[in-house]
Every structure is written in C-alpha cells, then in structure tokens.
Amino acid sequence: MPAAVRGRRTLSSQSLWLALCGAWLIVVFAADIALDRDGHPRIVLVGLVIGAPLLASVRLDARRTALAGVGSILAAAVLWRINGMPVGADSFARLAALVCACCFGVLAAHRREQLQALSDQRRLSAARAQFLAEATTELVSSLDYAQTLAQVAHVAVPALVDRCVIDLEEGRVVGIGAADGGTAITVPIVWQDRPIGSITFANRPSSRALTEEDRTLIVDLAARAARAIEHARVNLERDHIARTLQTSLLPPALPEAPGLDLAARYRAARGGAEVGGDFYDCFPLGDGEWVALVGDVQGKGVEAATVASLIHHSLRTIAMQHHSPARMLEQLNALVLRRREGCRGRFCTLALVRLVERGDGALDATVALAGHAQPVVRRADGCVEAVGRHGTLIGAVPEVTLHDVAFTLDPGDLLLLFSDGVTESRRTGEMLGERGLCALLAGTGDDADHVCERLQLAAGADAPGDDIALLAVQVTR
C-alpha cells in the first residue's frame, strides 16, 4: 500500500475513534438525565465515563487518549455537580479511580504505539530489503540500463515511496509519482569518483518522513546502479569491438567473377558479444584461377581472432606459390607452428578449394581438407554429393597428412563450403547434421544467395551456440 494512502487511512481512523469516545460521553450524559425520576433517588452514572479513556486506549495514540481522559474527568465533574452529589471521601475516591484509569489508558496507548512503531519498522525494513533484491534483479537482467532503471523506479513507487526520479548524464531516465512539499533525498550515482547521475526518493507531507535508513538504501541502490550502468556500457563497447574485429576477418565484399555466382553468410554465436574464429574468403589468382575457403579456429575471443587473421591473410600469399591445395595447407601448418607461442597453441580446421576455368564453361576443382567437414556439391540435376578426403588439422602437429581430391563443376553445379556451426545447429531440438544439410540442398534450383539464406535461416532456428560461416560458388555459364 502506498505510504500516502496509509497515512490518510490512519488519520481517518484516529479521528473516527476520537469521535466514538465523545459519543460515549454524550450517551452517558443522556442516560443519566433520562433515568432520573421525580420522587425517586437520583441515579448517578458518573462511573461509566471511565469507559471513554479505556475505549480510546484501544485505537488512539497516547496524546489523543490523554485528551479523552481529560474529557472524561471534566464530564464526571459535571455529572457529579448536576446530580448534587456531596463532595467528600467517596467523590475523591471515584476521582482517583478515574484518573488512574486515564493514566493506565495513556500508558497502554503509549505501549501500543511503541509496538506498532517496532512492527512498522520491521515491515519497512522487510520492504526495503525486498525492494533492493528486486531492484538488483532488474539491474542485472538486461544490458538496456535505461529500461532497467525505469523498472526499478516502478518497483519503488508506490510500494516504498511516493516519487522516484532517476537522472543520468544523457538526461532524465524516469520520473514517476508526485510528492510536493514533503521530504526528499537525492543521492548521486558515482562511478570511479565521477558522477554519472542521481537518484531521488520523495514522500508527500501526509506520508512518513524519509530517514537516514532511506538514505542508506538509496546510497546502496546508487552503487548497484553505477555498477550495472558501467557493466552495460562496457558490454556494449565490447560488442562493438567484437563486431568490428570480426568484420575485419571477413572480406568486405565478394569479388565479381565472370561465369560464377558467389554468395556468403556469417552469423556470430549468441548475438556476437564475443569474437569468433570462423572465417571465409574467395579471391582470384589470375588467369581464370580462384581460391575458395572456409576455416574455423579453435575457441573464441581476441586470441582466436588473431590466429584467424594470421591464417586468413597468410593463405593469400601462400596460394600464389603453390598450385596444390594440400601443399598450401602444409606450408600454412608450418607457419602456424613457427608462430605457435603467439597463437597460444590454437589449431584450425580448413577447407580449401582451387578452381580453374575451362574453355567449355566448366571448372576443374581441387579440394584439400585439414580437419574440416567435407564441402558438398549440388549438381544441376539436384543430386548432392560430398567432396574431399579428411586430413590433419592445422597447427596441431608438424607432420600432417593432407590430400588433393579433384572434381569438376559443370554449368549449373553449386559448391558449398561451411563451418561446423551449420551442421551442429539445432532445429527444434534436433541437430541439423550433414544429412540434414544435404536434404535442404537436394532437388532445389536455388541460386547461391538463396542457398546461403535458406541454410542460415535453418541453422539459426534456435539461438546459435557456435559461429556460422557459409560460402557458395555456382557455375552460371
């Protein structure tokens, strides 16, 4: 219940109970007058006025109970006078009893106030603890700190205070509730001795006054908010750096190849918050020769990206020196091993295809695999076959076994190279696998771009747990 509503209800209840005590005294007066009969002994109900302070002590505070007690003593004196009762030991004894009753009522009301205050304090402490727990949950639940701070404010109002305002360097994030003329506490949000915003709690005059306990709560909340804000900003910056670095590992655009339709896709695992080790490339060697490749470096992060960058750029130089893809990979393996310390012992899988144009419009292709999945070829008639022979991965051992496997790409044929993130992706809980990949390709006449798009959608049906890289080469002559 909002603090202001609780305050108004308490005030209304006190006034009602005080009016009830006054009504009791009026009823006693009326009954005393109504019961008097001429010729009969007078009936004095002065003893009943003691009910007012006792009644007051049940619900009223000590001050109002004392007020009801004073009213009762005055009422008793008036009744004693109008009934013509003698002043003596009996009257003083009754007065003493009434005063004692009033004092006991005031003490009882005071004790009840203390117990109520203790109960309210415990309830308020529990509310503060619950608020801080909910606020912390909100702050760590998302990297959108503006939205989470707004949620925190909605948790505070009206459960804890009447108004909450949160400002940051870039402007006001949220300001909800109203509390004009009451108590307010403002605490800065500080990160590494630099103010980055502020939090303000306020209550109306009719609500409870904010205390040092509330200030302590806001200070704690501000510290947690500062950590959450900076954590979100660091993660956003890291995500930006990861995307920038990942982009540098991929060609800015695939080259224009006469007679060939080239397409590629890349998707980072779990939104790209960490740099992956997957990469692809396709580049010309001159005289109608091309190299197409897809690789996957072990692990993730900057170290994996460094190894991927080394391999990616080294292959462009190595490819100019050898015609055999297997020989290219052997020289690459020697290079990675020489740089093993800088590569932190990371290894790499790679599928590399050398393409040579023929006069009849077809391509002579040679593929070598270094621990990588076999590329697949979708023939013009829709049949799908895997090509290549498995070999030793790059960067693991000095002596590697690699094989050149030759095949032909006729007009209409499509060659697809992919990373294991594609086949290991899950569709409604089931792994896609190489069979699932071939099933998606079989019998379709999609061009290279549509093939990559379909496979990316299929591999991304669930949140990808690994990077996805695709490279498609289709002969269009």
pLDDT of residue 5: 45
144 vs 378, more confident:
378
pLDDT digit string (tens) for 280-318? 999 999 888 999 999 998 877 777 777 888 888 899 999
Dist CA 50 CA 25 (whole Å)? 9
In sequence order, the 6+-apart residues with CB closer than 8 A to the CB of 64 are 14, 17, 18, 56, 109
Alpha-carbon distance of 357 to 131, in angstroms, equals 70
Q: What is the pLDDT of residue 12?
A: 58
Asked if 276 and 307 count as a contact pair (C-beta separation under 8 A), the reply is: no
pLDDT per residue over 211-245, tens digit each? 999 999 999 999 999 999 988 888 788 777 767 77
Of 183-187, 341-345, 380-384, 414-418, the one with minimum mean pLDDT is 341-345
Q: Is the peptide bond before 158 cis (omega within 30 degrees of 0)?
A: yes
DSSP 394: B
Can you point out the beta strands (E) in 70-211?
163-168, 171-177, 184-191, 194-202
Using CA atoms, how far residue 242 sits from 249, 303, 420, 470, in Å, is 11, 12, 21, 20
pLDDT-based confidence at residue 393 (cuts at 50, 70, 90): very high
% of the chain surpassing 70 pLDDT: 86
Residues found in the chain: 477
- The residues spanned by each domain of the chain are 3-119, 143-243, 251-475
Q: In what helix (H) or strand (E) does residue 148 lie, and over which residues does it extend? A: helix 145-156
- What's the pLDDT tens digit per position in 425-434? 876 667 888 8
| Residue 387 or residue 66, greater confidence | 387
Mean of pLDDT values over 411-419: 95
Q: Both tokens of residue 413?
A: 């044929």
Write the pLDDT tens digit of every residue in 18-72. Answer: 777 777 777 776 776 676 665 555 555 666 677 777 777 777 778 888 887 787 7
Is the pLDDT confidence value at 85 over 80?
Answer: no
The pLDDT assigned to 223 comes to 93
Judge whether 401 and 449 are in contact, CB under 8 Å: no
Three-state DSSP class for residue 422: helix
Q: Of 13-27, 83-97, 115-129, where does the model show the most confidence? A: 115-129
In sequence order, what are the beta bridge partners of 430? 427
**Is the domain covering 143-243 a CATH 3.10.270.10 domain?**
no
pLDDT at 414: 96
**Are 203 and 180 a contacting pair, CB within 8 Å?**
no
Q: Is the whole model's pTM more than 0.75, yes or no?
A: no
Q: How many CB atoms lie within 10 A of CB 285?
A: 15
Tally helices (H) and strands (E) across the chain: 11, 16
Instruction: Decide if pLDDT at 207 tops 80.
Output: yes
User: Under CATH, to which class is 251-475 assigned?
Assistant: alpha beta
Residues pairing with 406 in the sheet: 366
φ, ψ for residue 55 (rounded to 5)? Answer: -65, -40
pLDDT for the residue numbered 331: 95
For residue 344, is pLDDT > 70?
Answer: no
CA angle (156 as vertex; 153, 159 as ends), nearest 5: 145
Which has more pLDDT, 146 or 41?
Answer: 146
Residues 390-412, mean pLDDT to the nearest whole number: 94
What is the C-alpha to C-alpha distance for residues 273 and 283, in angstroms, rounded to an integer?
Answer: 29
